Amino acid sequence: MFLGGALTLLMIVALGHELFNAGLAGLSRTIPSNPLFYLAFASYYLAPPTFDYLIFRRLWGIPLAGMAALHKKRIANEVLLGYSGEAYFYAWARQRTQMVAAPFGAVKDVMIQSAIAGNTFTLALILLVAPFAATIHQEEVNPTTIAISAAVMIAMCVPFLLFSRRVFSLSKTQLWWVYGMHMTRLSVVTLSVAFAWHFAIPGVSMGTWIFLAAVRMLTSRLPFVPNKELMFASIAIVLIGSGEAVTELLALVAGLTLLAHIVLIAGFSLHGLWRRLA
């Protein structure tokens, strides 16, 4: 109870700090008028907690109310520390032993599968981006850096595969299903942000935006790329002639994401307070 309350308070403080220091800058840009942009953004924003809900719905049979805890899990991971959201969700599940007696194993397995799926998806994106490596400035990233990053990501997955019987608590069928759900989630998120960009700036082809969305996810996950933003901007400049439009879109999406975090945390906090006072 104290862990969940403390993480919720930290999320509110961190979100307020980001909103008043940088988050509103993205919203000050030109707001797209195409309603399809907001539908695509909604898909991009809601996909992670929705797929988590589908996973734990099958594993535990959690009620729809569990979506609130999964949204808090996602927000904690993004605005606090990586995997702090898993700590919050574990605390939430521990308070509901009638739903699941030993939640640690499933939370751990889903977290590891998410990391493995993320690395697998990134390796696939490397193959997609490799033919365009010549467009990337050598001082920002080079083929050797990408190769080392890919090798490290593969090495990080190998121990979990070799010692899977000791590491994982779920059955093989469940693990493969969870892995497939994570891969689907990553695909939906990538395509959704590409569609959002396309609806905001329709003058650029959809294929270009999908490629840029893939590059964006790739650059965010490569462990040994020092200048991720410069790498992404350099590819954007080559493809669409100017990185400024993409930078403004990134600021807008980041600002809208932060605003959605604020609205949800405020709503969850007020709802929790109302239930305690009722």
Q: Where do runs of H (alpha helix) occur along the chain?
A: 2-18, 24-27, 35-60, 66-79, 84-94, 103-129, 143-162, 164-167, 172-200, 206-221, 228-240, 244-277
What's the pLDDT score for residue 177?
94
Q: For residue 255, what are the contacts with CB-CB under 8 A and spacing of at least 6?
A: 23, 24, 25, 26, 27, 28, 29
What's the pLDDT score for residue 167?
80
Flag whether pLDDT at 192 surpasses 90: yes
> Confidence band (pLDDT; 50, 70, 90) for 255?
confident
Flag whether pLDDT at 43 surpasses 90: yes
The 10s digit of each residue's pLDDT in 128-147 is 766 665 555 544 455 666 67
The 10s digit of each residue's pLDDT in 142-184 is 566 667 777 777 787 777 777 777 888 888 899 999 999 999 9
The 10s digit of each residue's pLDDT in 198-241 is 898 887 778 878 878 887 777 777 665 555 555 666 666 666 66
Rounded to two decimals, the pTM is 0.78
